[in-house]
Structures are given as C-alpha cells and as structure tokens.
Amino acid sequence: MQQRNSFWEQDTMSNTKLQDIKSRFEIIGNSPLLNRALETAVKVAPTDMNVLVIGESGVGKENFSKIIHQLSRRKHNGFIAINCGAIPGGTIDSELFGHEKGAFTSAHESRKGYFETVNGGTIFLDEIGELPLETQSRLLRILESGEFIKVGSSKVQKTDVRIIAATNKDLLDLTTKNKFREDLYYRLSSVTIKIPSLRERKEDIAFLWAKFSSDVADKYHVPPLSLTREALSKIQDYRWPGNIRQLKNFVEQISILETDRNIDDKIIDKYLPEPTANSLTYSGGGAEQNSGINEREILYKFLFDLKRDISDIKDSLIRFVSGNAVPPTPNSNLPARMIDHNTYPPAIIRDDIIPIKQYHPSEEETYEDGEIVENHDPESLSLTNKEKELIERALDKHKGKRRLAAQDLGISERTLYRKIKEYNLEEE
C-alpha cells in the first residue's frame, strides 16, 4: 500500500512538471499523444543526442526544438533555426559552413557559416528533406566527427553543435528514391519525436480556440468569442490540414469579421474552407500517403480552376450586359470556387470589394443576334504562361513573401525560388 502511494506521488509530480513546462513554453492541450511527445523532448533535452522531429506543417515542430535547447546544458549558448527549403541550393553550403574570399564570384570576403557561429549551441534544421545530396554529405561529416570545411578552403575546422532536424516528409521513403542519404537519416534520428496533428488531438481544439480567441481579444480590444456545442463539434470534425497555424488564423479571421460573439455552426460554415485535393498530410512512415499527387498535378488543378472561374465571370458579365442578370452584390451567393478556399493560412475574405466594370467587347469579339461571340480563344493555353501568371499573382498577393506564396501555390519554397529565377521575376 505504501508503494502504491509512493508511485502515485511520483506520477503526480511528473504531471505537475509537465504542466509547468507547458505553461513556460505556451503549449496548449492535454492529449496523450501530445504529452508523450513532450515527455520525450524533456527526457532527451539534457543529453547531446541528435533529435528528429516529425509531423505535418503547422504542428509546432520549431517550438519543440526550442524546448529541447532551453532544457539542455547548451541553453546559455547560441540557438538558430534554419529553413533548409528557403535557402537556394547554390548558396546553402556557404550559409551552413561558410566560405573563403574568392570562393565564388560574389565572395568578396570570408564569411563564417552557421556551424561556426553557433559553436557550442544548437542548430534547428527545418525541412531537412530539402537539403541537396552534396550538402547532406557535408552534414554527415559533422555528425560523425564534428569536422567541416568552408567553401573554397582546404582547412578542416571543428565544431561542437547539437543538431535538431525536422521534416513533414517521409525521409525513409526519400532514401529509397535516392533523394536522402540513408546513413544521414539514421544519424539524425537517434531520437525521433512525432508531434500529433490537430485531428489526432481533437480534445485540445476547445482549449486552443479559447487561447487564440483571448489573444485576439487582448490584441484588438474586442470581446472574446464563445462556441455553441454544434459549432465546437463542427470544428472538431474538420480535418485542419494546416493544423494549429491554420486554426489560429481561422479564429483571428472570425474574431475580426463577426460582430456576433456567440459563434454557432452556421457562422463556422461561412468561414470553414472546403477540403481540397492539395491538402497533403505527413504519413509518418506508417499512415496512408497521397503519393499520387505531385506539384505538377496541383498546378494543373489551379489552372483548370482558374479557367473555370474566368468562364463563370465572363458568363455573368455577358448576362448582365444583355439584361438577363444583375451584377453580384456584397450579399450575393457567389460560386464556391470564386472564394479562395485553398489559401493557407486562410485569408480574410472580402466579397464586398469585388470590382465590377462595364463590359466592352474586345477586337477579338463580335455581336451575332445580340450575343457576344469570340472570333478566337483569347486565353493563352501555354502552361508556362499560366504558371508564370500564378506565381506573379501569389507573390503580389503576399507582398513578395515567398514562403506564404509557396504555401498558397502548394509547392515548396525551393521550387518557387527556382521558378522565380527561371521566369526572371526578381527583376520585375
């Protein structure tokens, strides 16, 4: 009996410590999967073992890297988070390992890399699966011996850096496709932490809603939102492909646009995006994968939706000119695909600022029996032109922020950077 009490007291202390850590690092939720991931992070933090954090986009992988660093013996040394997918392949070696003066055309002076500047600290490598194979070889040498060589140098240097890597891809699957080194994978995954997606911890959604609603209320001086049972059930049943990041933006959107602070399921339906084919999820190596969808198929879907939207708008304008219809008003029920539900994070939709212009037939169009007839199709069917147009629109929409633009297009930042270079969009 005494042993049972002692075990119960030890377990209570452990739970108390876990709650303290959640409070310190603003971790919301109490699902078993989340607690297990957090416990693993706390246990591995005092060691120098490499950690691989896996999970879908938006689940908070970087937060876990900060927890591990702050609870480690390296907490007083440097910490840096690097998005491997955001650095161009031609410069990533220089960024990570540094370069010597004259190593390449624009190397006007020597430069220290991250592994040199954060010596003694922690480096968080997000989107590790985006690293080029050559860079993977350099990283493997650091993991094995702590040695690296600057670009353009022959001098071997030493560094003492703990590496925490993260990915939303199946690295083992990438090894079978010769896109990721198998030996590097096993070096990085000394300890693997799987962070659950939001749909795997539905019981935490109510707490997250309350937290985000309270934050918005404090920031913008508005009353916090409350949820009906039906509304809560609705958001708990939604898939949330963007996870916590998407839910946060969703709550902010409703908080700003809705005057009624008691949110029911009808209001939720107005803002909840429709699930789409490009809501790709991380498989974790064991779950089902949407392997049949790639970037080109996603691009084709965007092109078809765009063409369909143009046709809908054109039909509406033609009917309006001929007197058979009225122009859309702020309260009109617009077609679902005229609202950009694929935007991630979800954008604040303003259907009251859609410009309505008087339609005039172009030189390629003529009237026949009161109908407008096109002499030839003015829309370019070139995939290249459409791809360039979509990229320009995404960059303009997000004011040049490439990460958001890449998420909006459903492609990686690395692919977006290559397309920008290919179409010379940096000069425009």
Q: In Å, how far from its chain's centre is CA 257?
A: 24
Least confident of 31-45, 84-98, 154-168, 241-255: 84-98
The overall average pLDDT reported for the chain is 79
Instruction: Say what the pLDDT of residue 282 is.
Output: 43
Q: In Å, how far from its chain's centre is CA 86?
A: 12
The 3-class secondary structure across 239-284, one letter per residue, is CCCCHHHHHHHHHHHHHHHCCCCEECHHHHHHHCCCCCCCCCCCCC
Report residue 352's pLDDT band, with 50, 70 and 90 as the boundaries.
very low
Sheet holding 51-54: strands in order across? 79-83, 122-126, 162-167, 51-54, 191-194
Q: Distance between CA atoms of 275 and 144, rounded to whole angstroms? A: 44
Q: What are phi and psi of 98, to 5 degrees?
A: 85, 175
- pTM, to two decimals: 0.62
Say yes or no to pLDDT of 357 above 80: no
Q: Distance between CA atoms of 234 and 247, rounded to whole angstroms? A: 13
Say yes or no to pLDDT of 293 above 70: no
Quote the tokens at residue 39.
């416990």
Cis before 273 (ω within 30): no
Q: Distance between CA atoms of 235 and 380, rounded to whole angstroms? A: 40
Q: In Å, how far from its chain's centre is CA 326?
A: 40
> What is the average per-residue pLDDT within 395-418?
83
Higher-confidence position of 102 and 275? 102
Instruction: Say what the pLDDT of residue 359 is.
Output: 40
| Residues in a beta bridge with 51 | 164, 191
Instruction: Say what the pLDDT of residue 319 is.
Output: 67
Say yes or no to pLDDT of 331 above 80: no
Work out the percent of the chain whose per-residue pLDDT is above 90.
52
Say yes or no to pLDDT of 136 above 80: yes
Domains in the chain with CATH codes: 11-194 (3.40.50.300), 201-271 (1.10.8.60), 295-427 (no CATH)
Least confident of 60-74, 163-177, 193-207, 274-288: 274-288
